[in-house]
A and B are shown apart, each in its own frame.
Chain A
Amino acid sequence: MAFSCQPMQPGMLYDAAARVAADASFPDGHDVIGEMGWPLVLLPEDKGGMGGTLTDLTALVEGLAAQGSPLPVIERCAVAPLLLQAGGDTPWLEGLADGSQRIAPLMGSRSHDLATQALTAELSNGDYVLRGAVGGVDTSGDPTHWLAIGRLGDELGIFVLDASQLPAAHSRYRGMDGRHTSNYQLDGVTLSQDRCIAKGAAASEAITRAGQAALAMICADSVTVLGAMVEHTVTYLNGRVQFGVALSTFQALRHQLVNVYMRYESGRGMITNYLTEAGQNPAQDVRRLSLAKLALGESGRYSAETVIQLHGGMGMTEEMLAARLAQRLLANEFRYGDRFSHSAALPLRRP
């Protein structure tokens, strides 16, 4: 029996996400994530959430990624809830829990160090004034509120903006994986003091935690895409006939896909181990995750290029899911820190 990619975290959440990803009937602007209640996964039960862990969120990520769904589940279900929790019991946390508010991070996914996208925050006449640029913001799902990071002198703060307070995007792009993101320039957005939901150590800890969670989830996304690509390529090579025989009978092609499979198994093992053992040794967690991202970045580049090549001309078409998955994998390499930024941040020896 040919290879069939099995999820790392099978179960109801995975099945639900896979069903949503397979249903292409949602109109643009429809908030699927909110309707499914997925932002509640990482919220504690006493805050109205599901009390889940990153392992549960992985199931969602897998279900969506395997079919190339562009839903911003990492931003809406990992980054935003974890930042929001730094503020304790706020109206926005309640709004997230009861589903009345759609809250997204006002930042892109270019670095796992979310603080690199901090705006400047100043106190002026009793209000905070935010200035600066943020880029690569995923605006899908029509958020009602945005969470921004602001630098208040030597410390960081987490701020809540109403959607109406955000200026119009000064530019908007389609990324290399087809995701649409926007760039904003804030030239003095004024917020009342209650809109700073956390600052100092509480904010910094939440920002670090959210960045690490996002990093873990983008790695899980990449592993899932790798496995799905192997499965789709096996199907393609087994079914496509050239010179009177299936392409899968050519050893050169088989071995190339084996190389991709090996990278998949290695990456899958790393993320599974991380999810299983996270929290036992926080310093090692950070290193392991950065190493995994570094490896998956390089593996992803190699595997995406190989899969495109193995599909021949069809690999160059957007029609092929495997090709779209390859694009996603290539783009993932640059999300939440590319391999060079992770390499730069890692000491050569383990702490």
Chain B
Amino acid sequence: MTTSVNAASAEQSLEDFRREVRAFAEAECPPEIRHVVATGDKVAKKEYLGWQQKLSARGWGAPSWPVEYGGTGWDIQRRMIFEEEMAAADCPPLYHHGLGHIGPVIIHFGTDEQKQYFLPRILDGSHWWCQGYSEPNAGSDLASLRTEAHLDGDEYVVNGQKIWTSHAHEANIMYTLVRTSKEGRKQEGITLLLIPLDTPGITIRPIRTIDGWHHVNEVFLDNVRVPVFNRIHEEGKAWQCAKYLLERERLPAASVARLGSLWRQVVDRVEPILAETTDRDLSSLRYELLRAEADIDGAHAMLASATTDMIAKRPLGAKPSALKQQIAEVGQRLVSIALDAIGPEKADQFIPDEGAVDPDAVWIHNYYFNRSKTIAGGTSEVQRNVIARELFGA
């Protein structure tokens, strides 16, 4: 199936490829799923999975994977076009935990048996993943994690707590960093285990976040037994997996594409408000929207520049961190513009105690949610430290 798809795409011009992806997205992505994306509402497992199954059936379930594992084998230009067209058509993003994170790690570090078992389940969505990395005292400083595991026969016994675990309430399996040794540097002695969430001893508790959406959870692990088969790479060597993932994920092409969609959604909502006669002077919002569009152009250009560097095998330096920051901060500004536009009346109507949901409440959800964009995955301050090391040479 995938071989024929890729044989065809190798001969196809990029413009033809773009047209094919666009036609598929518009024809095959269900309207109810696109509506959720287009309105800026929360995308949950139902939407992700619904679209993933369509893509998987088309042979496009894993655009960044090699063909032999069910991927498309596309080059980076085609992957970027794919992301752009998915975003333009308001299709849900690919579910990153499986396809973008643990899948590539299994491909790189896993055994043949592990690949045969786990990869098809990522592609068809039957394994729905979450990431067990952060702990109460190990967020940006991940190597300080303390959840412990020790070998007992052919099983690891895991005890500890994970926090900020996105999608754990929807997931059925968690890729988890655990400490198997306290010897040496703190980056050593960390092991990667794949833990089914129906294993006895696991408790998942929601964390109520200010955005009013349910994303993140605490996950408690109490004498959880995990077969050795579910360990990826050697015991104590998981830091290599984490670094591999970071290197691989350095250029957030999908996030840049999504930024353009967010701009469009905000303009769709703000433009009619600007046309209304009100007692509020909102004229500055028009300027702010143009300013944000300029910065989105900048993000596209930075991505293109970094991609060129990557293809030419030149060092990327601080560019990926600068790009991540730019995306996060422009996103925050956009939802802040939307919040300003909807104004005081809507600010009172965030979540109904009685009555219908106000459609504009989605902008309040988004405003709050986007605060996390400069916190999750390395705070702005950590990113700035990384960039500063490059700039100052130390």
Give A contacts to B, CB under 8 Å: 1-3, 230, 234, 237-238, 248, 251, 254-255, 257-259, 261-262, 265-270, 272-273, 288, 291-292, 294-295, 298, 340, 343, 346, 348-349
Contact = CB atoms under 8 A, between A and B. Distances in A.
Contacts of B304: 269, 273
Contact of B293 (A261, A269, A291): A291
Contacts of A266: 295, 298-299, 301-302, 322, 326
A260 to B, nearest CB: 10
Name the prevailing secondary structure of the A interface residues: helix
B291 interface: yes
Nearest to A238: B392
A266 B296 CA distance: 9
Nearest to A346: B290
Contacts, number: 106
Contacts of B319: 265
A238 B291 CA distance: 33
A346 B305 CA distance: 26
Contacts of A273: 297, 300-301, 304
Contacts of B318: 261, 265
A261 B391 CA distance: 8
Contact of B286 (A270, A295, A348): A348
Given A255-B384, A265-B302, A343 B391 contact: no
B392 A2 contact: yes
8 contacts: A258-B387, A265-B305, A270-B297, A272-B301, A273-B297, A294-B290, A294-B294, A349-B267
Contact of B385 (A238, A251, A269, A288): A251
B interface residue count range (under 10 / 10 to 19 / 20 to 34 / 35 or more): 20 to 34
A257 B325 contact: no
A3 B393 CA distance: 7
A270 B294 CA distance: 9
B294 A238 contact: no
B297 A255 contact: no
B384 to A, nearest CB: 5
B287 interface: yes
Contacts of A267: 298
Which of B293, B301, B304 is the most central at the interface, judged by chain A CB atoms within 10 Å of its CB? B301
Contacts of B390: 3
B28 interface: no
Contacts of B141: none
Contacts of B289: 348
A248 B392 contact: yes
A262 B301 contact: no
A254 B392 contact: yes
Interface in B288-336: 289-291, 293-295, 297-302, 304-305, 318-319, 322-323, 325-326
A261 B322 contact: yes
